[in-house]
Amino acid sequence: MRATPDFARFEDYLAAVREVSQTVLRPAEDRLTRADGVPEDLTTALKEMGLFGISIPEEYGGLACTMEEQVLLTFEFCQASCVYRSRFSTTIGLTSQAILDFATEDQKRKYLPLMATGECTGSFALTEPDAGSDAGALTTHAKRDGEGWVINGEKRYITNAPQADVFLTMARTDPNATGARGISAFLVDGNLDGVKVGEPPRMLGNEGSHVCYVWFEDCRVATDALVGGQEGAGLRAALRGINHARLHVAATCVGQAIRLIEEMTAYAAERRQFGQPIGEFGQVQAMLADSQAEMSAARALCMDCARAFDSGDAIPFIDIASAKLFASEMVSRVADRAMQVMGGLGYMEDLSPVARLSRDVRLFRIFEGASQVQQSNIARAMLRG
């Protein structure tokens, strides 16, 4: 991490993020849910902490954290509601990382400094009604028209669409190519005529995160909106962002598991039944211990992947898929145990955070590649040797 005026060392920054997570973000979780969005003062706090810029290099105004540092930070701020993270996740991962690796220098200079400060929210527009896990089936298309392109198509489940200043949009530029070939990435400013954002549908969890349909209707963009000025590289750019995002999701699961373990352990130590704390019962101890052991394993896997990422070698695709698979399944098991340990209290929305956390973490097994997709990717890579 680069030195900032406030923090000369990464350890000091990590401690400050921990402090904000514990003393500002956690106590404001109910306010976040009631407001159905991260309140403005808390968004400002996230920006002031530099959290929108942790993955952006110093030359573009970011904090230039290594992946190991990003993962350590995620373990901390994701002990508060993961909806806070959702507000900047699409900027730090899916969009900025694809821009970093694939965009032209002009595109980098246009977007990255604004992303680093949080002035520009990036949103990632890949998924469509008929192209979910099979992203290569997308039908949104961009046609050359004079000096630019005209984009038409329908995207769905796009996180932060209402807040987005720019959509990293995958569209087919070669109508004759099938699958991943012929797909290009465009930087589409959110305020352009021809970009329409739907109302966010209600979700099982993650209240306050806005995930919407986005329609591109004869949306005209200039030639320089094509990422890297290169046609046909869209899914490669998407995958770069997705690999980064998957590791961040795995680290998010670890942070949420730490929180759930803290909630259930405090309850098990204090709640007395049959004349003793319930934490004295062997079956309750098993739920605590299994949760702790599985969280530690996921944490170690995340750290391993992060170090491999930082080593500069090829991105460890199988390891990142494994981390995403294991951590997302792990946190669902931990959430289920936390509810069980807490009995009726764990089921009460208004009396403990465990019900809300359980609903929130269910998402992680579905998005950024469902568990079954990770399994199939891992197994196929193993079989290929």
Ligand X SMILES: Cc1cc2nc3c(=O)[nH]c(=O)nc-3n(C[C@H](O)[C@H](O)[C@H](O)COP(=O)(O)OP(=O)(O)OC[C@H]3O[C@@H](n4cnc5c(N)ncnc54)[C@H](O)[C@@H]3O)c2cc1C
Contact pattern from residue 76 through residue 105 relative to ligand X, giving x for each residue in contact according to CB under 6 A and a dash for the rest: --------------x---------------
**Three-class secondary structure of residue 89 per DSSP:** helix
Find the part of the chain contacting ligand X (CB under 6 A) among 110-118, 156-164, 180-188, 223-231: 156-164
Among 111, 124, 309, 364, binds ligand X (CB under 6 A): 124
Nearest Cα residue to 294 out of 325, 270, 317:
325
Distances (CA, A) of 344 to 136, 267, 290, 341, 361: 45, 12, 21, 9, 20
Contact 235, 245 (CB under 8 A): no
Count the site residues for ligand X by CB under 6 A: 19
CA 225 vs CA 222, 228, 333: distances in Å: 6, 9, 43
Judged by CB, which is closer to ligand X: 27, or 201?
Answer: 201
Which range in 125-133, 142-150, 177-185, 347-355 contacts ligand X by CB under 6 A? Answer: 125-133
CB-based contacts of 96: which residues, under 8 Å, 6+ apart?
55, 56, 111, 112, 115, 122, 241
Residue nearest to ligand X (CB): 132
Rounded least distance, CB 158 to ligand X, Å:
5
The CA-based angle 203-127-201, given to 5 degrees, is 20
Site for ligand X in 348-367 (CB under 6 A): 363, 366-367
Name the minimum Å distance from CB 133 to ligand X. 3
| Minimal distance, residue 14 CB to ligand X, in Å | 27
For ligand X, give the closer residue by CB, 126 or 334. Answer: 126
Enumerate residues 364-383 that contact ligand X by CB under 6 A: 366-368, 370, 372-373, 376
Q: Does residue 239 bind ligand X (CB under 6 A)?
A: no
Residue 211 touching ligand X (CB under 6 A): yes
Contact 339, 354 (CB under 8 A): yes
Minimum Å gap between C-beta 111 and ligand X is: 17
Min dist. Cβ of residue 268 to ligand X (A)? 31
> What separation in angstroms does the CA of 317 have from each of 137, 366, 377?
22, 18, 9
What lies within 8 Å, CB to CB, of 229 at 6+ separation is: 104, 223
| 368 given a catalytic annotation | yes
Which residue, 52 or 124, is less far from ligand X as judged by CB?
Answer: 124
Catalytic residue from among 76, 128, 294, 368: 368
341 CB neighbour count, 10 Å cutoff: 27
Would you say 370 or 378 has its CB closer to ligand X? 370
Q: How far is the CB of 127 from ligand X (least distance, A)?
A: 3
* Distance of alpha carbon 55 from alpha carbon 66, whole angstroms: 7
Decide: is 159 part of the binding site for ligand X (CB under 6 A): yes
Q: Give the DSSP letter of residue 196.
A: E
Give contact residues for ligand X (rule: CB under 6 A).
Answer: 90, 124-127, 132-133, 157-159, 211, 363, 366-368, 370, 372-373, 376
**Catalytic residue list:** 368
